Structure 1
Amino acid sequence: MKQNFTVRQGALDGVEAFLSVAQHRSFRRAATQLGVTPSAISQAVRALEARIGAALFIRTTRSVGLTEAGERFLSRAKPAFEELVAASEVARDLGQRPAGRLRLTVPRAVVSHLLERLIASFCQAYPEVEVEIAASPDMVDIAAGGFDAGIRLGQFIEADMIAVRLTPSHLLTVVGSPDYLRRRQRPELIDDLRQHTCLRMRRSNGSIAPWSFVNGNEAIEVIVSGSFIANDIPTMHGAAVEGMGLAQVPEPIAAGAVKAGKLVRVLEPFATMAPGVFLYYPGNRQMMPKLRAFVDHVKSRADSANKPGIDIDGEQTRRRRRNSDVPSKSSRRH
């Protein structure tokens, strides 16, 4: 059976005309206020009366009055209509300037390493925007979760999102504490991981993430084993500092502990590159000013070292998966 795709007549059609006539007790003055003809006002009111099923006005050649149905309708319709007008004004205001709540979903690992200074400077520049950060290791559906944008590693961003680079590409480095490495022979080859306790991370889809390496020109994914599983990078990093095993984490996350002597890099010749961290958001044609302001703020603060060879103009290019972005991978089981 063929469906009817005609939009039904709205319950609010004719209400503004009715309220104006009720205010002025005149179809002609109501028409002047609304900038239409008296005939248009009369037709709108008649259509409203027909839809309601009751006469709202008593009309004579000399005056216009309200029926009892009209009085009752006026008492409920006027405050409701005024609320709708006020709601429109509030929404319009948010569409004209950076204001309101900006909700971001981010992994916990980037909050202290990347976001704190960025958010602080943005809030200082745009005091009417309220920033809310939801730190979670899960891959969140932005639209379903009510978020304006998200921040994730580039390899986990869907291809239909617009992405703006926040950091350069970085190494995935394997680290262990000096205490752990005193108890175990330091791994020199990827196969040496068989004899080591490896700290693993569970992805939001429930799977355990393999470790990624490069051996010459070959990209390799290795399934490691160990007695500890976390669901975010900071927890895994902390476990490595405590000597619980080896962990593979982004180089910027490990750098501080390595410098402080709390962690040691291993298997450095086999470290692979990750695309880096990106701000991403849906490709809406009408971007809210608060998000536009944040995107522009991110771009304006991007370090010049991030820019060579990188297209960060998210408004002009959609992110595409390319072979050079994510290399083909083979798998080895340990």
Structure 2
Amino acid sequence: MARENYSDLLAFMAVARERSFTRAADQLGISQSALSHIIRNLEARLGLRLLTRTTRSVSPTEAGERLLRNVAPRFEEIDSELAALRELRDKPSGTIRITATDQAIDTILWPKLSKILPDYPDLKIEFSSDYGLSDIVADRFDMGVRLGDQVAKDMIAVRIAPDMRMTIVGSPAYLAGRPLPTTPQDLTRHTCLNLRLPTRGGLYAWELQKDGREYQVRVEGQVTFNGIYPILDAALAGFGLAYIPEELVQPHVAAGRLLYVLQDWFPTFPGLHIFYPSRRQSSRALALVVDTLRYRGE
């Protein structure tokens, strides 16, 4: 294949990854008809069908899967080297893609990174709010955020927050006239607000600790969310008990809008860490973001 046709491979990879001509065309900044023409010409030159198209979906053929699996990493290596060359300039530049929960973005990442962005106009940050345990390599993120005990051992991890204490809270209106739970098992007799994790598809079991004992309680309730902030809002509105990080509920507890329940069972987990592949070549942009987010006991 002539070198001038390498752009056709990039177009194919975009469609294969997005499983959509529409999304791939938007990503590439070209029309859908132009993208379809590029793919047809590529398939004609190779003499192979690379994509299976239906009215509802697009998926790679066996040949397409092989091409994507073997060629995509080469282009990523080229992108990485070009990014490294751009980093030779005086100031950090390029895009750093980060996947994290909305809480981590709202309370840690954005407050810290927003302070440095005016000083580095060539630096771009892309946040992706996600409660799933994303594969940052497969999903092409530069870094992710997880609790310290959730980071894979082949990753470089840097603490960005102190240990996290989880709490159980309810509004005075909800608790009025109801017996307070005295054991974890009592939670099963209360209306609770559930969190659904996209990775496993199941409801998050509340993890509790006391005197070296650990319990996981699967609670029931009328409402399930996929984010922590709607759960907090529902708890404030009196729709049930909620399992929420202390950092988010403490102001509401201090103001009397929420009350702690089973306080002697509250668990503490290793604090949030940013993590990235150990084999990833560190760029000035990545190093700057890591240093900015690093927890220093403040």
1:133 corresponding residue in structure 2: 127
Does the 8 Å contact 2:84/2:283 carry over to 1?
no
Q: Name the % identity.
A: 34
Shift of 1:105: 0.9
1:187 corresponding residue in structure 2: 181
Does the 8 Å contact 2:142/2:276 carry over to 1?
yes
Gaps (5+ residues) in structure 2?
4-78
2:167 corresponding residue in structure 1: 173
State how 1:98-117 maps to structure 2 within 5 Å: 98-117=92-111
Does the 8 Å contact 1:94/1:289 carry over to 2?
no
Residue 206 (str. 1) matches residue 201 (str. 2): yes
Give the number of aligned pairs.
Answer: 220
CA distance in 1, matches of 2:94, 2:118: 15
Shift of 1:249: 1.1
1:231 corresponding residue in structure 2: 226
1:261 corresponding residue in structure 2: 256
- Does the C-alpha gap of structure 1 residues 163 and 269 become closer, same or farther in structure 2, counting only changes over 3 Å? same
Q: 2:296 aligns with which of 303, 310, 326?
A: 303
1:93 corresponding residue in structure 2: 85
Instruction: State the one-letter code of the partner of 1:186.
Output: L
Structure 1: 4+ residue segments shifted above 3 A? 87-93
2:217 corresponding residue in structure 1: 222
- Does the C-alpha gap of structure 1 residues 190 and 90 become closer, same or farther in structure 2, counting only changes over 3 Å? closer
Shift of 1:298: 2.0
- Give the SS at the match of 2:268: strand
TM-score if structure 1 supplies the norm length? 0.61
Does the 8 Å contact 1:113/1:253 carry over to 2?
no
Does the 8 Å contact 2:191/2:221 carry over to 1?
yes
Instruction: State the one-letter code of the partner of 2:183.
Output: L
Per-residue deviation, residues 201-239 of structure 1 (Å, max 9, x unmatched): 111210111111113211111122222111121121221
CA distance in 1, matches of 2:280, 2:161: 26
Residue 247 (str. 1) matches residue 239 (str. 2): no
Point out the structure with max Rg over C-alpha. Answer: 1
Gaps (5+ residues) in structure 1?
1-9, 13-86, 306-334
- Give the SS at the match of 1:238: helix
